[in-house]
Amino acid sequence: MWLERVGEQHANDEMIVERLALALDLVEARYDPVGVLEAAIDPTRPIEERKTALARLRIDPGSHIRIIATGPDGRPGTAPSTAVPTRHGMLRATLGRAATEPPSTPAGLGTWVRADHAPESWDAAMIALELAEPTRPVVDASDLGTLLMLAQAHDPQAPHEDIRGLMRLDTRSAQVLRALVETDSIRSAAAELGMHHSTLQARHEALTRDLGYDPRTTTGRIRYGAAEFLRRLTDERVVADESGHPGDGQG
């Protein structure tokens, strides 16, 4: 692009150049939306740099958006989208607005935020994606409530001992523990598991010793629920590497 003035400098020259620069940025964004969206969701970038990226995507910083996280091959619709390296591996970030259709493939829907707070939505979207499962392939981070705050405070590389305790359980012990937490009595849990109640009572006592808390008390149920939720966000290799052999895996 070349501009040349003939004659005296005009008062509007600076404005014309500024608007031309903005127009060129918008055109470039159409051909290179990938790097632009990645900049908009990067929490390490200064907010002014993120606002510039949003302008190139023709998004007002005050408008409400959400970021959608999918596997690297997933791409919901025709919205701006980019593959992003994360601690979870390569993921795809897609810009979601009110008219954006949620994907049908496994996806995490970030919280609705001001566009200039897009990194917050991206963080929530990645957490939601980790919680997706075959029976619930699309998870909306907005549905997590205060659990989202719990997940954001969790370090998956240094899990709390409550989480490690659950990750060390074999599949049957995990089933027994879940029944003890979710049923009204030892007898009810025994009936559900097909065990004699005295046998289950002994398992209950053993689990209480191993976990360091009684899973049938009010506090114990809360500790179990929080640890089980965060277990799904923790790499099983962390515990496997410490023990020297792979964990049983609970799914």
- How much of the chain, in percent, has pLDDT values that exceed 70? 87
Residue 237 has pLDDT above 60, yes or no: yes
The whole-number pLDDT of residue 144 equals 97
Which one has a higher pLDDT value, 164 or 98? 164
Residues 202-231 pLDDT 10s = 999 999 999 999 999 999 999 999 999 999
pLDDT category of residue 30 using cuts at 50, 70 and 90 = very low
From the list 196, 146, 189, 174, the residue with the least C-alpha distance to 247 is 174
Q: Select, from the ranges 85-89, 91-95, 234-238, the one with the highest average predicted confidence (pLDDT).
A: 91-95
d(CA 240, CA 201): 29
Residue 50 has pLDDT above 50, yes or no: yes
CATH 1.10.10 positions along the chain are 161-243
Which one has a higher pLDDT value, 130 or 76? 130
Residues 154-205 pLDDT 10s = 998 899 999 999 999 999 999 999 999 999 999 999 999 999 999 999 999 9
**Which residues are bridge partners to 92 per DSSP?**
70, 83
Residue 31 has pLDDT above 50, yes or no: no
d(CA 125, CA 75): 14
The alpha carbon torsion through 236, 241, 245, 246 (nearest 10 deg) reads 20
Topology (CATH level 3) of domain 161-243 = Arc Repressor Mutant, subunit A (1.10.10)
Residue 11 has pLDDT above 80, yes or no: no
pLDDT category of residue 14 using cuts at 50, 70 and 90 = confident
The whole-number pLDDT of residue 53 equals 94
The whole-number pLDDT of residue 244 equals 54
Residue 98 has pLDDT above 50, yes or no: yes
DSSP 8-class letter at 138: E
Residue 2 has pLDDT above 60, yes or no: yes
Side chain identity at residue 79, one-letter code:
A
pLDDT category of residue 29 using cuts at 50, 70 and 90 = very low
- Cβ atoms of 36 and 29 closer than 8 Å: yes
